[in-house]
Amino acid sequence: MVLITIEGIDGSGKSSLVLSLTRLLKDECPVITREPGSTWVGDAVRRAIADKVDPITEALLFVADHASHIATVIRPALSAGRLVVSDRYSDSRYAYQQVMLEGIIDEPLAWLRAVHDGWTIPPDLTFLIVLPVEVALSRMGDGRTLEHFEEAGFLARVQKNYLSLAEEDPSRFILVDGLKTAEEIAEFVAGSIRDFSGSSLSRHRQ
């Protein structure tokens, strides 16, 4: 009944935050989920990222993964009255694919929004972790080959897009300082989710 999303550039600490939320919100029995998802559609997306397919194919695969995520996880969980927390969601497309589609499609953000229009379920609250790109990059790497999304100039543009989305919709976005300790971030986000889902429960009861 409440849909919370967590967004941020690669290396922003989203995954460890989501892991902590599983523990800190245990009593709320949240459905913790992610995009790209854990189905074969999600696997196809991961394969497309690794194979560097063309940006339109890639964007549409991410959208297909979102459709499958909504149909199999998000809608059923919300209908059952559950608290849902998703590690990445539509704003990842609006931030990342907007950069990937620049120069290929006239107005990438408008196009991406139009593709989602009419069937996506907008989040109630979105936590955006913000941190300097160099810090995010230094947290990744560890010797492995970086994906094409994991490059400084690219991530700087993605983060800029995220910040514009947040500016456009301040009542949905909560900005989180990614330089705080993992514990501080997790406590803050878990507390805000509790406050939000508590007040939304009382709104439903009225």
Total chain residues near ligand TYD (CB under 6 A): 14
Reduced 3-state DSSP string for the chain? CEEEEEEECCCCCHHHHHHHHHHHCHHHCCEEEECCCCCHHHHHHHHHHHHCCCHHHHHHHHHHHHHHHHHHHHHHHHHCCCEEEEECCHHHHHHHHHHHCECCECCHHHHHHHHHCCCCCCCCEEEEEECCHHHHHHHCCCCCCCCCCCCHHHHHHHHHHHHHHHHHCCCCEEEEECCCCHHHHHHHHHHHHHHHHHHHHHHHHC
Q: Using CB under 6 A, which of 20, 88, 115, 127 touches ligand TYD?
A: 88
Query: Taking CB under 6 A as the rule, does residue 92 contact ligand TYD?
Result: yes
Query: Taking CB under 6 A as the rule, does residue 33 contact ligand TYD?
Result: no
Query: Taking CB under 6 A as the rule, does residue 149 contact ligand TYD?
Result: yes
- Residue with the closest Cβ to ligand TYD? 96
Residue 10 or 73 with smaller CB distance to ligand TYD: 10
Residue 35 or 85 with smaller CB distance to ligand TYD: 35
Query: Taking CB under 6 A as the rule, does residue 10 contact ligand TYD?
Result: yes
Query: Taking CB under 6 A as the rule, does residue 7 contact ligand TYD?
Result: no
- Min dist. Cβ of residue 131 to ligand TYD (A): 13
Query: Taking CB under 6 A as the rule, does residue 96 contact ligand TYD?
Result: yes
| Contacts to ligand TYD by CB under 6 A | 10, 14-15, 35-36, 49, 62, 88, 92-93, 96-97, 147, 149
